[in-house]
A and B are shown apart, each in its own frame.
Chain A
């Protein structure tokens, strides 16, 4: 499976995750968000940035607990809690946040 943005083709797996996370960019994030009924706000981007940072540094996306903890450190407890996270991504980290951030879902068989 694949989709096209501005003349570039991006491969996805059968569940719609970006095949190669290195090909991710902001346009891809906007497109992926549209496939999971999400309109990206600056608050969404703060979470996506954490996901991308972790992925770039460790080659692996952070677990939801780690995302929430990092949010807490960066933006305080008002944004560093589960309720806030799930308000932004009601479908959950794997179905929504990971997909938009273009990282593969290591938990899809769980």
Chain B
């Protein structure tokens, strides 16, 4: 039997790995205990994050980079949250993704990154189709009582907030945009959406392509600056918000003149409610509601920026219903739905649904009839992945869907 020999590690990889101190790892396995990947079957059977860390200690970097493990990890951050030594496993998995040759990035993720860099949106939707869809959705909204004078503000100067759609809304789920639009209209908001480079989400963060994330954030900064817009609403997509926010902060550190103000979608709706600009009717929502914490709005935002968005969506939801229950575990301990980190758009459906089983249990145990979310990936995974897979008898709604459908129009 041969002894295990550490593989040769290139200087490039050493450069990446020098930010992670494996000597502090207690090999306690707390990370694996809290990670939904543990216990997985199929190609990754027997793998868990503790074992991955040990392999890396032995220098088996290639084995991890070539495996699907980093792409099954959703970057939910439950491991580092639980780790007594706070080893940055999310960062480590990002490095493993970064080391994958771009032409071997699984599924369509890298293709989407190239498309957004080239065309301004992940799916390469031409301007004509984008504008046609916006026109038609606007026209449909004007047919609803209270919205007869709705006009979609595109590329407006000197407005209060800029808001970005995502390509899923333009290509398929276009009616979903009406909820945002209704709220802005009811609040008499001074807002705009961009005509070019309109993609909200950031697949650079899903493929560990920092350069792409920086480019996408710079486009948003340029749009806000050139139109003299007061604030950017960060994308609802968890990864999109984290990618945009961290890259905007990096640009600001490089050049303070690029600083822009931004806020989360929850914050703007709270403003509208507290200022009395929108009013909602609680009697419309009598079913039992629960809140699903997006990891990137909650735990990961807290770790990276010092505060997670836990209270804000709960406050909003409780303005719309008196029938609210928590899931367990919740807030910073909540389980990921399984779709984060690009897993929803990725090709590993079985692994994604396995990952989400813990969330499905939390949902079932809560007794809720309506699961409310604030991230489009979480929504799709819970509605189209977990609900059929685990026979969940639930409705899945966006928080802005509930607000929009409960609006009292004056």
Contact = CB atoms under 8 A, between A and B. Distances in A.
A14 to B, nearest CB: 11
Contact of A109 (B108, B125, B129): B108
A66 B345 CA distance: 25
B136 A107 contact: no
A66 B133 CA distance: 6
Interface in B132-150: 132-133, 136-137
Contacts of A9: none
Nearest to B112: A109
B383 interface: no
Contacts of B107: 109
A103 B107 CA distance: 20
B136 A66 contact: yes
Interface string B116-129: 00000001111011
B132 A62 contact: yes
B171 interface: yes
B136 A110 contact: no
A69 B126 contact: no
B225 interface: no
A7 interface: no
B174 interface: yes
B168 A66 contact: no
Nearest to B130: A63
B126 A63 contact: no
A63 B345 contact: no
Contacts of A65: 132-133, 136-137, 174
Contact of A60 (B126, B136, B168, B380): B126
Contacts, number: 44
Contact of A63 (B124, B171, B380): B171
Interface string A41-65: 0000000000000100011101101
Given A58-B126, A58-B128, A106 B345 contact: no
A46 B2 CA distance: 70
Contacts of B132: 62-63, 65-66, 69
A63 B108 contact: no
Interface of B is mostly: helix
Contacts of B168: 110
A63 B133 contact: yes
A58 B173 CA distance: 21
Given A58-B128, A60-B125, A107 B172 contact: yes
A85 B310 CA distance: 43
A72 B129 CA distance: 17
B334 interface: no
B384 to A, nearest CB: 9
Contacts of B137: 65
B129 A107 contact: no
A68 to B, nearest CB: 8
Contacts of A66: 129, 132-133, 136
Contacts of A109: 107-108, 345
B72 interface: no
B34 to A, nearest CB: 29
A110 B124 CA distance: 14
Nearest to A93: B172
A31 to B, nearest CB: 26
Given A63-B171, A106-B123, A110-B168, A58 B136 contact: no
Residue from A54, A59, A106 whose CB has the most chain B CB atoms within 10 Å: A106
Residue among B125, B133, B170, B172 having the largest count of chain A Cβ atoms under 10 Å: B172
Given A106-B124, A109-B345, A58 B129 contact: yes
Interface string A20-53: 0000000000000000000000000000000000
A86 to B, nearest CB: 15
A66 B135 CA distance: 10
A69 B138 CA distance: 13
A105 B174 CA distance: 17
A33 to B, nearest CB: 23
A81 to B, nearest CB: 12
A110 B383 CA distance: 13
A107 B107 CA distance: 13
11 contacts: A54-B129, A58-B126, A60-B125, A62-B129, A63-B133, A63-B172, A63-B174, A65-B132, A66-B133, A107-B171, A109-B108
Interface of A: 54, 58-60, 62-63, 65-66, 69, 106-107, 109-110
Interface of B: 107-108, 123-126, 128-129, 132-133, 136-137, 168, 170-174, 345, 380
